[in-house]
Every structure is written in structure tokens, then in C-alpha cells.
Amino acid sequence: MPAEAAVWVERHGAVGLCKPVDEVEPMTKGIDAFVQELQAEITEQVREQYSETVLDHWMHPRNFGPLDKADGHARVTGPCGDTMENFVKVQDDRIAQASFLTDGCMTTIVAASMMVQLATDKPVSQAMALTQADILTALGGLPADSEHCALLAANTLHGALEDHLDTSGAPWKRLYRSV
């Protein structure tokens, strides 16, 4: 124990150094209740502005995270500053797996999650044809100021598929990618 602490304990006693457990526990329960109430309030506000599909993809994003040994990869930064990455594995000219990473907001996460869901199991040519409008329709729409998130998702998917097409004829090129 440092000398200053020992002097304090000698003068005042050990009482007051720590709160008794029965005093700390109600504070913890109060914080937990506050967090639960705040989450419920945020979820209710989201329900008022967005579709149930958007809420579902926000609470349970599909295929978040990188894919090892992806056949295609792209990283795109949108006009709002959000960055999205898309990874695809292609088998027999179909998207066998797709995943994403993003540092973006809720609507960027939702758009990326829907994008990978729409692209998975599609032929590469059909996945290349997916658009911002397709993502918005599947989500049940987004507010006008968030629609660019669906464009970011579509552009990132297209970039990953272009990367796949560029490297499929020359697999050695994958060795020189940054991911």
C-alpha cells in the first residue's frame, strides 16, 4: 500500500475505501435497467422510421465479417465517408458465399446485409445486375437521406465481382491483392 494511502487509512480507518456490495449492486441494476430502456426507446424510434425488414437486418446483419480466400474483394468509400468491403466466393459461376465489413451507420449495415443476401446463390451475371433500387425495394425503402447507402452496397458488390472476373483467369493476381 502506498505511504499516502496508509496514512489516510490510519487517520480515517478502512471504512469508506470501498462501498459495501449491497450498495454497489443496486447501482449496477440501475445501469442495466437504464441501458435496456434506452435500447427499447431506440428500437421503437427505428420501428417508426423503418420497415420491419430494415429492423431485422439491423439487429441481425447477415454474413458480417471477412471471408478467407475470397475469390473477389472490393473496398469502397461512399460520399458520406462510410467504408464498405465486400467479399465473394464463386463456385460454378454462382455466388456461393458473400460477406461484408463496414464502419458505417445503421443504414449502411442494413444495405450491405441485404446486398449479400440478394447476391448469394445468384449467377455472377445476375449479381452484377443488382442495383441500388433492388436493395431499396428488398428493404422496403430507406429515408431519402439514406438511399446512398444502398448505392454504396451495390457498387461494392460490383467491385468485388469485377475483382473476381479480373483474377479468375489469372489466379496468381490474387497473391498481390491487399486482402
Q: What is the pLDDT of residues 150-166, one digit of tens each?
A: 999 999 999 999 999 99
Does 31 share its domain with 69?
no
Does 103 share its domain with 32?
no
Instruction: Report pTM.
Output: 0.75
Q: Is the pLDDT of residue 2 over 80?
A: no
For the chain, how many residues are written?
179
| Euclidean distance between CA atoms 58 and 38, whole angstroms | 16
CATH number of the domain at 125, please.
3.90.1010.10
Q: Is the pLDDT of residue 14 over 60?
A: no
* Structural domains of the chain, count: 2
Average confidence score pLDDT of the chain: 87
Sign of the CA dihedral running 161, 127, 109, 63: negative
∠ Cα 124 94 171 (to 5°):
80
Domain extent, residue 2, equals 1-49
Active site residues: 80, 149
* Range with lowest mean pLDDT among 5-9, 72-76, 130-134: 5-9
Residues in CB range of 135: below 8 A, 6 or more apart: 111, 114, 115, 118, 150, 153, 154
Does 136 share its domain with 172?
yes
Does 95 share its domain with 25?
no
